[in-house]
Amino acid sequence: MKSARLLLALAVTAIGCSNDDGGGVGPDPLVISTPFDLTSMGRGPVPDRFTAELWVNGSTAYTTTWGTRTVNDVQARGNAVKIWDVSSATPVLVDSLIIEGATTLGDIQATADGKYLIVATESAGSIVIYDLQNPRRPALVTRFSNSDIDKGVHTAEVQPVGNKLYAFLCIDPRGSDKARLVIVDITDPSAPAMVFSQIMGTPFVHDVFVRDGILMTALWNDGIAIFDIGGGGRGGSVANPVQMGTAPIVGGKAHNIFWFRDQVTGIKRFAFVGEEGPGSIPSSSVGDVHVIDVTDMTNPREVAFYNVPGAGVHNFSADEERGILYAAYYNGGVRALSIRGDLGTCTADQKSSDGRCDLRKMNRELAKGPVGLSFPVYVWGVHFTDGKLYASDMLNGLFRLSTVPAF
């Protein structure tokens, strides 16, 4: 595997040196350029509730629920975690959890070692931690909240920093209480401890991305901010993040962020920011993917974007081996973008009027789906893992989608 990566890296480097096509998809065999379809391989229906967040842990998937759905005069709240067997192409519902006092479950993620599941709750804000010794039967470890959190946990990102495990929580504004970022040490899952809390974002801090001791925050109209929390060489730590740089997002409304690390070359040049404009759930949406060059973290800058007419982006997941970003696009389904190579350099024809490169004009759009369905979708989230792609659809449940053909 290592030698294969080395060969890929050498090839990418060599082709990258000779590729002067302005960042568009050229002859680079490592840049996926052949369009393909995202077809539904199987669907696990959820008719009783609206489906939202998604996490896949081996052969088990977890989906959260959102808001209130009424079916046959029965109102069901977004207080359920659906547990799926995804060992075959068609997800099979095997169990569910009900979290008391929640109207929406803001986020869900298993730890990288697969031992614990963390669920964020709204509008009574908390995080609920489950033991996954039996992944199909999560066992409650603890539920954590305090006065900084109880307004509602909109998103929760669980990542290790150093030798500790943290949950990075984006807290909803409520009344005169402004949105804030709260970081909780969950190294001991039975005894979470808040280590950082700060008002952030105008008017929201909506999501974060953590990698290699760097914290990136999506701050809505404040754009993004990058913090050293131990890996940036600025003396920052999780308890004392040191801001390294900020960047505005064209149009504002920075909703989520993903920092791409090319698993072949190790290059970490671009971060992708989802813009969430005002839509009408679950019928319309608006918002672009924004590409930020973070080579200089003290001076990040937007260099490219991707737009889908009539639809807006939501959550991301990536195939970092192949350089593909999968983006949930609400009523636009799922889109796959080729993100390897130089996205910030393009021809004049590939630029928008404000000088940014347009990924669509650069032929970076690879796929969309699910194709061939006879009913509308409103895709909230995607998760690519172990070569498989899953999508959570508010209206219809959990999809397993085809991915890029092997190359």
Contacting residues toward other proteins, per CB under 8 A: 50, 66-71, 73, 75, 77, 101, 103-104, 122-124, 152, 154, 172-176, 178, 202-204, 206, 220-221, 252-253, 255, 276-286, 376, 378, 395
Tokens read off for 382: 């995607």
Q: Which is nearer to other proteins, 236 or 282 (CB)?
A: 282
Q: For residue 289, what are the β-bridge partners?
A: 274, 306
Smallest separation, CB 267 to other proteins (Å): 32
Q: Which is nearer to other proteins, 352 or 363 (CB)?
A: 352
With helix as H, strand as E and coil as C, how does 137-178 read? Answer: CCEEEEEECCCCCCCCEEEEEEEEECCEEEEEEEECCECCEC
Closest by CA to 347, choosing from 27, 20, 17, is 20
Q: Which is nearer to other proteins, 102 or 117 (CB)?
A: 102
Smallest separation, CB 76 to other proteins (Å): 11
Q: Residue 262 gets which letter from DSSP?
A: -
What are the two backbone dihedrals, phi and then psi, of residue 58, each rounded to the nearest 5 degrees?
A: 65, -125
Smallest separation, CB 331 to other proteins (Å): 9
3-state secondary structure of 69: strand
Q: Which is nearer to other proteins, 26 or 251 (CB)?
A: 251
Q: Using CA atoms, how far apart are residues 78 and 102, in angstroms rounded to an integer?
A: 7
Tokens read off for 333: 């389904």
Place of tokens 């679950």: 282
Smallest separation, CB 217 to other proteins (Å): 15
Smallest separation, CB 172 to other proteins (Å): 5
Smallest separation, CB 389 to other proteins (Å): 24
Contacts of 290 (CB under 8 A, 6+ apart): 249, 250, 254, 272, 273, 274, 275, 302, 304, 305
- Cβ count near 62 (within 10 Å): 28
Q: Which is nearer to other proteins, 173 or 230 (CB)?
A: 173
In one-letter notation, the amino acid at residue 205 is: V
Smallest separation, CB 66 to other proteins (Å): 8
Smallest separation, CB 280 to other proteins (Å): 5
Q: Which is nearer to other proteins, 255 or 335 (CB)?
A: 255
Element (DSSP H or E) covering residue 382: strand 379-385
Q: Which is nearer to other proteins, 229 or 394 (CB)?
A: 394
Place of tokens 């040049």: 269
State the pairing for strand pair 301-306/357-358. parallel
Q: Which is nearer to other proteins, 68 or 363 (CB)?
A: 68
Omega within 30 of 0 (cis) for the link into 59: no
Q: For residue 99, what are the β-bridge partners?
A: none
State the pairing for strand pair 164-171/92-98. unpaired
